[in-house]
Amino acid sequence: MTDITPVLLAGGSGTRLWPLSRKSYPKQFSRLLGEESLFQASALRLAGKEEGLSFAKPVVLTNSDFRFIVTEQLAEVGIDPGAVLIEPEGRNTAPAALAAALHLAAEDPERIMLVAPSDHHIPDTDAFRAAIARGIAAVEAGKLVTFGITPTWAETGYGYLELEGPPEDGAAQPLARFVEKPDAERAAEMLSAGNYLWNAGIFLFRVRDILAAFEAHAPGLMEPVGTAVTEAATDLGFLRLDPAAWANAEDISIDYAVMEKADNLSVVPFSAHWSDLGGWDAVWRESGPDGRGVTLSGDATAIDCDDTLLRSESDRLEVVGIGLKNIMAVAMNDAVLVADMSRAQDVKKAVTALKEKGSSQATHFPKDHRPWGYFESLVVGPRFQVKRIMVHPGASLSLQSHFHRSEHWIVVEGTAKVTVDEEVTLVTENQSVYIPLGAVHRMENPGKVPMVLIEVQTGAYVGEDDIVRYQDVYSRGQGERG
């Protein structure tokens, strides 16, 4: 039985799946293709014992805003995480993989680690685990193993791996070279050649071997990332990498930093189904279009449409398409995307344009997830805001006050334990409580079911950064998120 530690990279923003995927809540945490999020599916794929493999608790690389989402989603599927490393800022995959390797090296430099994005779709778990098993012999021989996907069309959005010969299903094979994303003509040539695979960005190696590769090919990363790990601070079970050292690490992918320079690479071909869900066209394909090429999600209706994706992410919005062809339409409470399917890779341009005009929809999700639950704004005016707030059973918001607003809370589901200055009361369904401006207050859910309330804020300023925290069970600092 071979022991493997999964390393899940969960810090990306996925702008090509806007408006569902945004910086504040990216695609890996969304339920794009089923009841589980992509992150949950990735963790389950690399858990338990099977095919002669035993998977240890996963190491997760993410950022501070997502740390509680990570632990909450893992708990929902019954997975106890190992270390959750908090990146102070995104520095790409090379520093992330190196940080995980250095962390694991302190326990066992002989350990095998599998580094994988957490937003890929691989429905055949058994086939993927079998592919991992085929790479073990190469890893034990000191190789750095990557996984290549057998191409099924001339894709221009992926990088490729060139093999020295045609792909074989039996074992890992030597890698000739990495190939950058090609144009359409070159992609067609590589598809016909038969010895090229899509680069999946998934890697398998021993800890000591990948550390040796970094020392040989990216020595400039060793000191800043090493210091970030050794000076990391423990915070409620999370490991916060040192921000000053981390800021000095180069922003670079593991491909550019190490893999394209190493001479001990092997490739395991993988011919089962895989997708990186890198655009709405990919989601359309993976959703199983009907006989006319139409996929529907949520409250959506298609009339006389062909090759079209219609998706509603709001229970208050019905999306209706009539006579559409080759169109993707995705609707949320605060933003709607309508585009030709052939322009799926250009969706990130919309995010750039929205950022330039200062639109919050570019980066902020309408439902704001917090460690205690979530809130969403229903109505925002110049001097007021109405929110819906959900608090998990047993969870509580920080003890806090505001300089510029008062609040009125109306409980609509469950029971709230409310502190206002020195007074503590239980507020049940259909009851309300008033929080005067400047009052020190806290909201808790003492029950066994989720608690939902409507909050009405009034005042000169209703921004999320008008908050002073006095006590917080989640050890957040001051400001919007702390």
Does residue 387 sit in the same domain as residue 416? yes
Return d(Cα 482, Cα 471) in angstroms, integer.
Answer: 12
Please answer whether residues 65 and 144 qualify as being in contact, where contact means their C-beta atoms are separated by less than 8 angstroms: no
Does residue 197 sit in the same domain as residue 304? no
Does residue 339 sit in the same domain as residue 440? no
**Is the model more confident about 420 or about 477?**
420
CATH of the domain at 78: 3.90.550.10
Q: Is residue 323 part of a domain?
A: yes
Q: Is residue 279 part of a domain?
A: no
Instruction: Tell me what the mean pLDDT of segment 70-97 comes to.
Output: 94
Predicted confidence at residue 61, as pLDDT, reads: 97
Which of 209, 237, 270 terminates a domain? The answer is: 270
Q: At 232, list the tokens.
A: 């990391």
CATH of the domain at 418: 2.60.120.10
Q: Is residue 138 part of a domain?
A: yes
Return d(Cα 308, Cα 323) in angstroms, integer.
Answer: 10
Does residue 306 sit in the same domain as residue 448? no
Examine the pLDDT at 237 and tell me if it is beyond 60.
Answer: yes
Does residue 375 sit in the same domain as residue 342? no
Does residue 127 sit in the same domain as residue 154? yes
Does residue 181 sit in the same domain as residue 251? yes
- For 75, residues 6+ apart whose C-beta sits below 8 A from its C-beta are none
Q: At 377, list the tokens.
A: 């704004």
Predicted confidence at residue 119, as pLDDT, reads: 94
> DSSP labels for 167-209?
--SSS-EEEEEEEPPP-HHHHHHHHHHS-EEEEEEEEEEEHHH
Examine the pLDDT at 114 and tell me if it is beyond 70.
Answer: yes
Does residue 407 sit in the same domain as residue 454? yes
Return d(Cα 326, Cα 305) in angstroms, integer.
Answer: 9
Predicted confidence at residue 481, as pLDDT, reads: 54
Residue 73's φ and ψ, nearest 5 degrees, are: -70, -35
pLDDT tens-digit series, residues 165-216: 888 877 799 999 999 999 999 999 999 999 999 999 999 999 999 999 999 9
pLDDT tier at 482, thresholds 50, 70, 90: very low
Return d(Cα 139, Cα 265) in angstroms, integer.
Answer: 10
Which of 333, 357, 381 terminates a domain? The answer is: 357
Return d(Cα 313, Cα 44) in angstroms, integer.
Answer: 25
Does residue 176 sit in the same domain as residue 246? yes
Peptide bond into 289 cis (omega under 30): no
Residue 172 domain boundaries: 2-270
Q: Is residue 280 part of a domain?
A: no
Instruction: Tell me what the mean pLDDT of segment 460-482 comes to.
Output: 80
Predicted confidence at residue 408, as pLDDT, reads: 97
> Quick count: other Cβ atoms within 10 Å of Cβ 62?
26
Q: Is residue 121 part of a domain?
A: yes
Which of 303, 338, 357 terminates a domain? The answer is: 357
Three-state DSSP class for residue 97: helix
pLDDT tier at 12, thresholds 50, 70, 90: confident
Q: Is residue 67 part of a domain?
A: yes
Instruction: Tell me what the mean pLDDT of segment 287-294 comes to.
Output: 96
The number of folded domains in the chain is 3
Instruction: Tell me what the mean pLDDT of segment 402-413 comes to.
Output: 96
Can you point out the beta strands (E) in 135-172? 144-149, 160-163
Does residue 250 sit in the same domain as residue 317? no
Instruction: Tell me what the mean pLDDT of segment 371-397 comes to.
Output: 93
Examine the pLDDT at 471 and tell me if it is beyond 50.
Answer: yes
Does residue 69 sit in the same domain as residue 7? yes
The mean predicted confidence, pLDDT, of the chain is: 93
pLDDT tens-digit series, residues 253-264: 999 999 999 999
Q: Is residue 317 part of a domain?
A: yes
Examine the pLDDT at 479 and tell me if it is beyond 90.
Answer: no
Does residue 379 sit in the same domain as residue 407? yes
Please answer whether residues 25 and 18 qualify as being in contact, where contact means their C-beta atoms are separated by less than 8 angstroms: no
Predicted confidence at residue 34, as pLDDT, reads: 86
Return d(Cα 221, Cα 324) in angstroms, integer.
Answer: 50
Return d(Cα 31, Cα 52) in angstroms, integer.
Answer: 30
Examine the pLDDT at 450 and tell me if it is beyond 70.
Answer: yes
Predicted confidence at residue 2, as pLDDT, reads: 87
pTM, full prediction: 0.88
Return d(Cα 360, Cα 157) in angstroms, integer.
Answer: 28
Return d(Cα 147, Cα 59) in angstroms, integer.
Answer: 20
Please answer whether residues 221 and 245 qualify as being in contact, where contact means their C-beta atoms are separated by less than 8 angstroms: no
Q: Is residue 223 part of a domain?
A: yes
